[in-house]
Structure formats: C-alpha cells, structure tokens
Copies of this chain bind each other. A is one copy, B any other.
C-alpha cells in the first residue's frame, strides 16, 4: 500500500532473547520482577507515534507498511523499560482479508463497507488466503529483527466472537443489537460465521508464529457483552477452537498463548479450562480471587484501570502497589508457581500523559522487586 515498504530479512535467524522475564512469567516460572507491558502501548498518546502516523497518512497506511509498523512498535520501548513488545496492527485485518472492506474514517472508528447481515452474506464467508495478510507477517519478522532480542514480541488477533461483532454491526456499537439479533434469531448462521472466524484466526496466529511472534494473544474485547450461557456457546467455545489449532512451539521454543476477555470475570472458572498459558483480566476482577480460582493452572495478566494514569505519579505508584499486592506473594523458587504479568485492564487512553506511563512502569518494577 505504501511504496516505502521494504522486504524484511527472512525469519529464523534472530538474536538471542536478553530479557525473558515476560516469557518466563507466561510459563509460570519465577522472575526477579513482575514483567509489565501495556495494551495499545504503541499508540496515539505518544507524540512520536502521531508523527509517524501523519507521515503514513492513515491508520491502515501505518499498519500495512512494514517500516512504519516496525517503527511505531519500537517507540514505547525507547521511552520505557517495558518487558515485551506487541505487534502494531488492528484486530480487523482478518475480516478485511475476507473482503469486507475495512476503512477508518478520520475521528471515527473502523467501518466495513460490506457487513455480514444475512444468510447469503454468511454463505459467502471463507477462511481468507493468508497471502492477503502478508503485510502483517512481514511486519512481525521485521519487528523481531529490529528488537534484536531486547524483549519478546507478542502477536495477536481478535477472538472469533469479537470479529463477528464488527462483521455484523459493520462498525463499533453500543448495544450490539444487530449481532445479537442474528445470534438469537438465527443461531445457525452465527455458529457458521464463528467456525470460519475461528479457523481464520488460528491460521492467522500460526502464520504470525512462523514469522517470528514469540507469544500470541487473543483479544475477546466484546465477550463480556454476552449473556451467561451465550458467552460459553458463542465466544468461549470458539476461542477453544482457535487454541486447539495453534502451534505449541516454534524452532524448539514454547509459544505462550494469552486469552483476554474484557468483562469476562464472571466466567473465570470456565476460562480456567482453556488450553492456554495466560488469562488476561480487566480491572473489575480481584486478583487474589482470580489467583485462587485459576492461578494454579495459568499465569494472570492485568489489571489496573487505564484511568489511573490520569492521576498524579504519587497516586499512580500507590495504585500500582495495590494491584501488585492484591495478587500476593509471587512465585520465587524452582519449577512452576503463580505468576503475574502487569498490564492495564484495557488499552491505554490516547489522552494519557506519557510521563505518567514512566511512573507506572517504574512502580511495577521497583515494588515487585521489593515483594520478592
């Protein structure tokens, strides 16, 4: 899409990982501090991101250009001693590759030119040719090389249900009326769409792993809008279908898999049964309770309210301590035990003052060291 894109060096010959804190915590192994990264850490709150985006001309111009995607992925690492990088991309790349026609109007959210709202539209859906997503895999390889082993690179995808929300609504929604109408009125169509989405997401994440992603995360951003019962049938079951198809390792190294359902705190006991290494939690969840429910089988990731970053650094430090303390004493010995990966409970706000992020990262590292 952008003429400035260059082909990255081939995957497979990467520098050794210098900071493996995040990967170790994913695998429930002891670390010297609690690793921290932030959902949407490469984003609009950073002036350098806004400058690159202005050069790229548009959000998709940024996401589809290997050089730009690499540049913005590394920007937060230049400012903060974060313990992981996450691919800069969008969760809607997969339905775009299905032919739904993604666009981002200025000042608005994403839009699809061809939403999927009836039987005929569902019948036309198929797992997309992964070549249409080559720009994503190229970005993964390029970023992995550029990281040069500093920290691991996380790949990601939207969950089958979350993709279906956008595919049916055609844009963001505040009531999910159209997608839920299909769910309740024609569950057969919804199941068909979710099967295709799950198989697409699995192929997409496996290709990211082959391209160099060292962990993968499934964002079930809209799982929490479902009713009890519907969540298990229409979201959890298809997340499980993705996980069942994912590569467990690549080049002899384990690839941890993270599942994050925003608003999914009530279903943690059922999510504990997922075949993944880490569960992401939003800020409504009590970490001590979550640890007692699922901490024996999974690492936990989260969960400070992103709005804490609007308070002053003293209050930020205090809130970070409360979140770390609520998880409790981290595992320190040999073998596996309960581990925590610090993160926000949702993506960082574009209005966040960048120096407040520095205060948060510093507080996580220093206070978590003092707990060991």
Contacts and interface: CB of A to CB of B under 8 A. Distances in A.
Given A177-B310, A227-B345, A283-B227, A315 B266 contact: no
A108 to B, nearest CB: 13
Nearest to A185: B311
Contacts of A308: 180, 184
Contact of A319 (B174, B184, B266, B315): B184
Contacts of A149: none
Nearest to A184: B311
A285 B185 contact: no
B349 A305 contact: no
**Chain A interface size, under 10 / 10 to 19 / 20 to 34 / 35 or more:** 35 or more
Given A310-B184, A315-B184, A286 B228 contact: yes
Given A263-B263, A307-B184, A311-B184, A284 B177 contact: no
A351 B176 CA distance: 12
Contacts of A8: none
Given A175-B349, A263-B263, A310 B227 contact: no
A319 B180 CA distance: 13
B310 A229 contact: no
A322 B228 CA distance: 11
Contact of A181 (B229, B265, B310, B345): B310
Interface string A236-274: 000000000000000000000000000101100000000
B349 A285 contact: no
Contact of A226 (B185, B226, B284, B349): B284
A312 interface: yes
Given A177-B307, A265-B266, A224 B315 contact: no
Given A185-B315, A266-B266, A176 B307 contact: yes
Looking at A175, A231, A322, the one whose CB has the most chain B CB atoms below 10 A away is A175
Given A228-B326, A263-B263, A266-B266, 9 more contacts: A176-B307, A180-B307, A180-B310, A184-B305, A184-B307, A185-B312, A224-B284, A228-B283, A265-B266
23 contacts: A175-B307, A177-B349, A177-B351, A180-B305, A180-B307, A180-B308, A181-B311, A184-B307, A184-B319, A185-B311, A227-B284, A227-B304, A228-B285, A228-B286, A228-B326, A229-B286, A229-B322, A229-B326, A230-B305, A263-B263, A263-B284, A265-B265, A266-B285
